[in-house]
Chain A
Amino acid sequence: MSEILDRARAQVLTDGVGLDEAAILEVLRSPDEDLPALLQLAHDVRMKWCGPEVEVEGIISLKTGGCPEDCHFCSQSGLFSSPVRSVWLDIPSLVEAAKQTAATGASEFCIVAAVRGPDRRLMDQMREGVKAIRAEVDIQVAASLGMLSQEQVDDLVDMGVHRYNHNLETCRSHFPNVVTTHSWEERWSTLTMVRESGMEVCCGGILGLGESLEQRAEFAAQLAELDPHEVPMNFLNPRPGTPLGDQPVVEGKDALRAIAAFRLAMPRTILRFAGGREITLGDLGTRDGLLGGINAVIVGNYLTTLGRPATADLELLQDLKMPVKALSATI
């Protein structure tokens, strides 16, 4: 076994101290024959520092498409010739989606909008939607509305939004190759305001955006510095019409190594399986990921693409004897 795994076992498993960037890179470069031991170590770290429970979440797009930003992976940008059309979800449909999500046993429901940042109309829609959900559904409401002003952060807190998602998407050095209409630092600024507001910070990104292994390690280290409550891990699902539409998908073993590396960088965070896992990892890889550091899942569909049926993930969790985190445990 690689020396890096012995070092990680002592530092992360025993002491609970995450790996630094150089060590994360060593993990990402570890040979295939070490992968089973690496996943076992990441699983042991997750079980020791997070426990066996898995946090289940559903996500919904409140405002789809027509985004003015140019995130090169995103089919919702209005700047590319993507087939995704702009559409708004009405409040009754939003509440119904929250009910369906809660019925899976999920404790989280994240409302997402494809925008640079929310305008008055979107904030009004959010206020009405969150109020309606809280009146009818037992579920925690999270939001992902792009970059925020301090006033908007305060408004979301006032609405009762408990967690805010704003992904850095990739490392600082690679970000200008992926997004040119705003900066990594602007995203960091929103995350700082969210943290100071008392809302939980949810921040992750997408692997497979053309980043090198060095940049993947850089990204994990930058996330560890941010120390978010939750890190969603997406794998690029190349979308037709986007600049990254022909990008190859991440190899399954590389994806699993990355999951383990991120867990060893952030032993206590909620590390969530998000979009693209069906294509990158398939059913078997999903199981391997849950036994290799992942302790949260998005169930059902994503924003513009479809996922595995929620029942498939819930049956897998039952099979793995991983209990779904109860709503009462998240409040």
Chain B
Amino acid sequence: MYCDRCGDPAADGDHTACAAARALEPPRFCPDCRRRMKVQVVPTGWTATCVEHGTRTS
């Protein structure tokens, strides 16, 4: 599993700052494979799509 903000392994290092930042950011990396996702932000939400693992929404 990977941090969906920085893409590093979730088990390595401290991702507290990533988690805090995510309050005001959509995810950028797929937590399953760390691929960069295609992210579309709209006024009321976001969608993030990994070519392998599908689409996540806010």
Using a CB–CB distance below 8 Å, which chain A residues touch chain B?
A: 58-61, 64, 83-87, 89, 93, 96-97, 100-101, 104, 237, 240, 278-279, 299-307, 310
Contact = CB atoms under 8 A, between A and B. Distances in A.
A301 B42 contact: yes
A87 B48 CA distance: 11
Given A83-B7, A85-B36, A85-B37, A100 B28 contact: no
A291 to B, nearest CB: 23
27 contacts: A60-B42, A60-B43, A61-B40, A64-B39, A83-B7, A83-B28, A83-B36, A84-B28, A87-B38, A93-B42, A96-B42, A97-B42, A97-B43, A100-B42, A100-B43, A100-B44, A237-B24, A300-B43, A301-B46, A302-B41, A304-B26, A305-B41, A306-B23, A306-B41, A307-B24, A310-B43, A310-B44
Contacts of B28: 83-84
A278 B25 CA distance: 12
Contacts of B26: 304-306
A212 B24 CA distance: 27
B39 A84 contact: yes
B24 A278 contact: yes
Interface majority SS (helix, strand, loop, mixed), chain A? loop
A307 B46 CA distance: 12
Most buried by A among B24, B37, B46: B24
Nearest to B42: A97
Given A83-B7, A83-B29, A85-B39, A306 B44 contact: no
A76 to B, nearest CB: 11
Contacts of B6: 240
Given A240-B6, A301-B45, A301-B46, A89 B40 contact: yes
B7 A306 contact: no
Given A83-B36, A85-B36, A85-B38, A59 B25 contact: no
Contact of B41 (A278, A299, A303, A310): A303
